[in-house]
Amino acid sequence: MALLAYNRGLKLSSPGYPVVGVGFTGSLASSRPKFGDHRFYLSTRTSDRLSVSTVTLSKGLRTREQEDTVSSHLLLKAIANACKVQAASVSHLTESDLSDEHETHFSEDQELEQLVDGKICFKVYPFSSETCTSTAERKIILSGSFNPLHDGHIKLLEVATSFCGSGYPCFEISAVNADKPPLSVSQIKDRIKQFEKAGKTVIISNQPYFYKKAELFPGSAFVIGADTVARLINCA
């Protein structure tokens, strides 16, 4: 659930803004006695971290409202921790309650592997110093392999941005190809270095087809070169 929420947040966010996905489900006290445990699960996902907690509450100790208070407090604390915000350390759990927490950290290589495997939809490298003043969905995207990136690519996106008006200019590389093996992590990182050197934002995605890119970046304008235009028109 947290991973689905994280991917949804990526699609809605502006380049360079941190995203957190939150998942919560549980079975708490109700008007009728429950045969099973009173418990809940919560998780948070950021670009480099996954946190999961399982809490089992003592049956008969609290009302539904009190169990809601306990679960809500721990959920807000988990969100604060994911956002690296100081949270109150007051605990509403008793010694008879059971709580299990674990956290997994991801390196950049692991994040890119997850992207290639389809677990996360894209990763943004906001190397540009330009400020995003448009709505979160509005991006101006030039897709390609950029092997290598050259001045023609940069000029094309600059000209397109001047025509499109408001929007955040981004380059985009799909790590997954339609008719070739996916890029390796080392290949992806080598191409990313070009954009860091040029000071340009690049998005690494796992969608090789334009109709899928359009679903991934709703409301965005896509810039294509003459060779891509010819290929799309003469697709047969």
Residues 121 and 188 in one domain: yes
Amino acid at 207: Q
Residues 167, 205: one domain?
Answer: yes
Q: Which of 67, 83, 105 is the last residue of a domain?
A: 105
Is 13 in the same domain as 72? yes
* Same domain, residue pair 16 and 121: no
pLDDT tens by residue, 16-61 = 899 999 999 999 999 888 889 999 999 999 999 999 999 999 999 9
Q: Which domain holds residue 208?
A: 108-233
Same domain, 76 and 127: no
Is this model's pTM higher than 0.75 or not?
yes
In a 13 Å sphere around the CA of 150, the CA atoms on its Cβ side amount to 3
Of 130, 138, 142, 67, residue with least CA distance to 97: 67
Look at the chain and report how many structural domains it folds into: 2
pLDDT single digits (tens) 149-180: 999 999 999 999 999 988 899 999 999 998 89
Mark whether 98 and 132 lie in a shared domain. no
